[in-house]
Amino acid sequence: MNDFEELKNNETPLSTSKGTITTNDVKAVLFGVAVGDALGVPVEFQSIEAPRQNPVRDGVQPEKSQKKMKYISILDRQRKPISATEAIIRGQAPDGGLYVPASFPRLTDYIGKSYQEIAQIVLEPFLPEYSKDELADCISCAYAEDLPVKLSGNFLELYHGKTFSFKDVALQLYPHLLKLAKEKQKIKEDIVILAATSGDTGPAVLAGAANVDGLFTIVLFPKNGVSSVQKLQMTTQTGNVATIEIDGNYDDAQKAVRKLLADEEFKNKFKGKKIFTTASSINIARLLPQMVYYFWSYSELVKNGKINDGEKINFATPSGNFGNALAGFYAFQMQLPVCNLIIACNENKILFDFFKTGVYDKNREFKLTHSTAMDILHVTNLPRAFYNIYGVEKTIEACNSLNKTGKFYLHPKTDPFWAYFATDEQTRQRIKTVFEETGYVMDPHTAVAESVYQQYVKETGCENLTIILSTASPYKFSDVVELSIEKELPQPPMGIRELYEKEVVHTRFLQNTSIEAIKQEIEKILT
């Protein structure tokens, strides 16, 4: 009998190497309990720098100031810290783990400020190697033109950037952070950015990094797994970029990128000439800027008299790879007043099943849905949350179980998360209903979030104000939207109209999706 079984069957305190643990101690963890015996995880908790508790609920006081934020791989038992610039350059740790902040500052004094000012306040503690002026310049360059975010009623529209997707918010800033990190690390080689996309990351990173000196970007995307607009955005993009369409799904593409980043033999072929990183949410520089719009939207609600400062609200987030939701979780850790983070899934619903039953099992049918960017079964960012909650040992065991068997188990108590899903039929119906009732047009991903929010209200009765994250322009999915509202959309924005007049310059297609085949194709591109 292991420690978890002994504690589960006995209400008396249990002595462990870390001290005395009771059932109530276990329940006090953010997710509610320790990892279940399906993983054979002992009850004793590892001491980690990042707070595991809900700072709002449990009275934990995160650091008010941060001299030197460090980053740790979620798979590193030694918890060896590295700098922000190292984490940005590497993208993924050598052990295959993802980097997480070693601690979380308590954020204050952001109410009523501009988006750029809030970005400075949020990002500064996490990027200590960047001076105030350097970070301000990066933010200014990223958002010099129209701000990519807009609050429209309860919809936080994140698609007003170059490629009409929420990924623009982070990826307009990412190349500037990466280029400066390259200088600070005194790297002379060119940087190759590898990215897998389910539709939105690809166009955004290609557009953001296409003309940045010293950077070359390669994006893998799945055949039939992106919209026609998304494919045109990628295959017509000129500059220091290339794309590879694969006869597989997003999980295949993401698996290939992660394996290549960990393949020392492959990278050594380009030693002294090129180094490799990633622009997907694997990279902490992609994730951090996404925290900003959670704070900005809250600030706007207070400024406009919709809520009082300190009043808790909900965020409903369309969720595929969990990066957007994780950014909200990190904001929650920094004491943003959040009641629930509503995780909205499509018919693949692996996150819904996990949060409901505790079983995460990717051994299932992969479904192509209207909300293509959420068609994911291997949710890369979820273990980052586990690290903050359970510690390194439990995270490693969960990841090992996932890699070996495709599944793991955790107890399903999930505060502050609440999850549900919407079918394609429900998605179309919500697009139609909201349009008929209000005139507002949603894309399929936003409609999934709005549908799940309706279910949340029905089941919980919660009356807290809820922000629905609108992650893509309806024009990127006009076929589904027009089918739903039974009308043609008005003329699309110029950035989408002109796509149909551009020359397709990238036509690479791989039917063989093995790592070796992808590796050989990338070598052809780079040599």
Model confidence at 5: pLDDT above 60: no
Give the chain's mean pLDDT.
87
HSE on the CB side for 515, CA within 13 Å? Answer: 11
- Residue 386 pLDDT: 87
Q: Which pLDDT tens digit goes with each residue over 213-241?
A: 999 999 999 999 999 999 999 999 999 99
Q: What residue spans in the chain does CATH classification 3.40.50.1100 cover?
A: 164-285+503-526
Whether residue 232 contacts residue 163, with contact meaning beta carbons closer than 8 Å, is answered with no
Q: How far is CA 433 from CA 426, 430, 450, in A?
A: 10, 5, 11
Work out whether strand 417-421 and strand 407-409 pair parallel, antiparallel, or are unpaired: unpaired
**Mean pLDDT value across residues 503-511:** 97
**Mean pLDDT value across residues 72-85:** 96
Question: Counting Cβ atoms within 10 Å, is residue 437 exposed (0-12), middle (13-18) or buried (19+)?
Answer: exposed
The pair phi, psi for residue 180, each rounded to 5°, is -70, -35
Query: Dihedral through CA 292, CA 293, CA 294, CA 299, nearest 10?
Result: 100
Whether residue 387 contacts residue 29, with contact meaning beta carbons closer than 8 Å, is answered with no
Please spell the DSSP secondary structure of 464-520, one letter per residue.
S-EEEEE-B-GGGGHHHHHHHHTSPPPPPPHHHHGGGGSPP----EES--SHHHHHH
Using CA atoms, how far apart are residues 526 and 192, in angstroms rounded to an integer? Answer: 9
Whether residue 356 contacts residue 330, with contact meaning beta carbons closer than 8 Å, is answered with no
Using CA atoms, how far apart are residues 115 and 123, in angstroms rounded to an integer? Answer: 12
Query: Which of the four pLDDT bands, split at 50, 70 and 90, describes residue 13?
Result: very low
**Mean pLDDT value across residues 234-258:** 95
Query: Dihedral through CA 349, CA 355, CA 357, CA 360, nearest 10?
Result: 60
Using CA atoms, how far apart are residues 223 and 102, in angstroms rounded to an integer? Answer: 38
**Mean pLDDT value across residues 154-163:** 96
C-beta neighbour count of 411 within 10 angstroms = 17
Of 472 and 3, the one with more pLDDT: 472
- Residue 135 pLDDT: 98
Question: Counting Cβ atoms within 10 Å, is residue 268 exposed (0-12), middle (13-18) or buried (19+)?
Answer: exposed
- Residue 46 pLDDT: 29
Query: Which helix (H) or strand (E) is 421 found in, with range?
Result: strand 417-421
Q: How far is CA 226 from CA 212, 217, 319, 446, 471, in A?
A: 26, 19, 16, 16, 15
- Residue 86 pLDDT: 97
Residue 182, both tokens? 């390259």
- Residue 67 pLDDT: 61
Using CA atoms, how far apart are residues 145 and 498, in angstroms rounded to an integer? Answer: 19
Integer-rounded Cα radius of gyration of the chain = 22
Question: CATH topology for 164-285+503-526?
Answer: Rossmann fold (3.40.50)
Using CA atoms, how far apart are residues 293 and 155, in angstroms rounded to an integer? Answer: 12
Give the residue from 327, 322, 283 showing the smallest Cα distance to 104. 327
**Mean pLDDT value across residues 421-431:** 98
Model confidence at 254: pLDDT above 60: yes
Using CA atoms, how far apart are residues 224 and 172, in angstroms rounded to an integer? Answer: 26
Please spell the DSSP secondary structure of 339-379, one letter per residue.
EEEEEEE-TT-HHHHHHHHSEEE--S-----SSGGG--SS-
Model confidence at 286: pLDDT above 90: yes
Residue 277 carries which side chain, given as an amino acid letter? T
- Residue 24 pLDDT: 35
Model confidence at 321: pLDDT above 80: yes
Q: Which pLDDT tens digit goes with each residue over 329-377?
A: 999 999 999 999 999 999 999 999 999 998 999 999 999 999 999 999 9
Model confidence at 83: pLDDT above 80: yes
**Mean pLDDT value across residues 256-266:** 94
- Residue 26 pLDDT: 33
Whether residue 321 contacts residue 381, with contact meaning beta carbons closer than 8 Å, is answered with yes
Query: Which of the four pLDDT bands, split at 50, 70 and 90, describes residue 413?
Result: low
Work out whether strand 71-73 and strand 99-101 pair parallel, antiparallel, or are unpaired: antiparallel
Query: Which of the four pLDDT bands, split at 50, 70 and 90, describes residue 412?
Result: low
Residue 280, both tokens? 């997907």
Using CA atoms, how far apart are residues 458 and 464, in angstroms rounded to an integer? Answer: 13
**Mean pLDDT value across residues 488-508:** 95
**Mean pLDDT value across residues 448-475:** 97
C-beta neighbour count of 520 within 10 angstroms = 12
DSSP 82: B
**Mean pLDDT value across residues 285-295:** 97
Model confidence at 12: pLDDT above 50: no
DSSP 46: P
